[in-house]
Amino acid sequence: MTRLIVATAGLAGLAAFGSLFAGTANAERAVAIPAPAHDVPATGHKATAVLAGGCFWGMEAVFEHVKGVTSVTAGYDGGTRTTADYAAVSTERTGHAEAIRIVYDPQKVSYGTLLRVFFSVAHDPTQLNRQGPDSGPSYRSAIFPQDRAQQAVASAYIAQLQRAHAFKAPIVTRVESGTFYPAEAYHQHFYDRHPTHPYIVHWDKPKVAAFKAAFPSLAT
């Protein structure tokens, strides 16, 4: 895994592996998609969403810039507690997906709006078991609803986008059940703590910029 090698390399290693990313920076653009026809009713309490769409560094970075989001945690979902660690998940045999847990204020941003950002710019929902340079089931596109209302909205939105042919290829996003386990401390807020990391520069900064350009009223 390229990201694993670069993340664990020393300074000399970063310089060497930086060439792997040369010229690969994507001019990320959001896909213009409609808002969900149905949404979870707003409450006066904080709510939680769990989403998976490739490397959790970039997913976390995008949603940390969404107004109404109070916290984002990188972690793993879809497998058991005993194997919810980076070394085990990286074997692609644990059933986990790299995921993020989003705590948000439903009075300021809805679950449906979070899903719209998820599908439009946070990742590519047409890539099966991969995102960008990362491949394997731990990088799959998945939604982990926290209740029946979220499950209904997520399933209906996928169907809505499919009917609208919002993407050039079929959506492969799965709606799954599972338990979220936080990732190791060194993975948390990686984008903010390592802004010059080659992976962040070439894969995640363009994604955050695309989010801010496409959703200026949502961006912090």
Q: Given this model, what pLDDT does residue 159 score?
A: 98
pTM of this structure: 0.90
Q: Give the 3-state secondary structure of residue 15.
A: helix
Distance CA 206, CA 214 (A): 12
The pairing of strands 97-104 and 130-131 is: unpaired
The pairing of strands 174-175 and 141-144 is: parallel
The mean pLDDT of 158-186, rounded to a whole number, is 98
**Whether 164 contacts 157, CB under 8 Å:** no
Please check the confidence at residue 75 and state whether its pLDDT lies above 60. yes
Place of tokens 């936080």: 182
- Confirm whether 55 is a catalytic residue: yes
Q: Give the 3-state secondary structure of residue 123.
A: coil
Distance CA 108, CA 43 (A): 10
Please check the confidence at residue 214 and state whether its pLDDT lies above 70. yes
Distance CA 146, CA 77 (A): 12
Beta bridge partners of 73: 101
**Catalytic hit among 40, 49, 50, 55:** 55
Question: What is the overall mean pLDDT for the chain?
Answer: 90
Domain segments of the chain as ranges: 2-214
Q: Given this model, what pLDDT does residue 216 score?
A: 97
**Whether 89 contacts 184, CB under 8 Å:** no
Q: Given this model, what pLDDT does residue 4 score?
A: 52
CATH pick for 2-214 out of 3.40.50.170, 3.40.367.20, 3.30.1060.10, 3.40.50.1460:
3.30.1060.10
Cβ neighbour number for residue 107 with a 10 Å cutoff: 13
Distance CA 191, CA 119 (A): 20
Distance CA 42, CA 32 (A): 24
DSSP 144: E
What are the pLDDT digits (tens) for 33-68? 999 999 999 988 999 999 999 999 999 999 999 999
Vertex 62: Cα angle to 100 and 51 (nearest 5): 30
What are the pLDDT digits (tens) for 176-203? 999 999 999 999 999 999 999 999 999 9
Cβ burial 112-141 (10 Å sphere, 16+ → b, else e): bbbbbbbbbbbbbbbbeebbbbbbbbbbbb
Q: Where are the alpha helices (DSSP H) in 40-137?
A: 56-63, 86-89, 111-117
